[in-house]
Amino acid sequence: MKKFLLILSLLLTISCTTRTEFGECIGAFDEKQPDLIYKMSYWNLAMGIIFIETVVVPLVTVGDDLICPIGKRK
């Protein structure tokens, strides 16, 4: 059962959005680039909430991939 949960959490972490055409996603506490417009990735947030019991998925999601760039500032 532990192996199944580990594999499942790794697959879902991989399926989270990690980059867009404008650049890499950042964590909740990372510094934003001033020339990009950012938006929270609700898919990544949902994966973190659904798999909160695994501890790994929410940490990766909030720490690395919560906010993604959606465009460039003019």
What average pLDDT does the chain have?
85
Extract the tokens encoding 54. 């695994």
Interval 14-44: pLDDT, tens: 667 888 999 999 998 999 999 999 999 998 8
Mean pLDDT of 51-55: 82
The pLDDT, as a whole number, for residue 13 is 60
Extract the tokens encoding 31. 């510094």
11, pLDDT greater than 70: no
pTM assigned to the model: 0.72
Count Cα atoms within 13 angstroms, Cβ side, for 39.
9
DSSP 35: T
**Euclidean distance between CA atoms 48 and 43, whole angstroms:** 9
Where in the chain does DSSP place strands (E)?
Answer: 19-20, 23-24, 36-40, 67-72
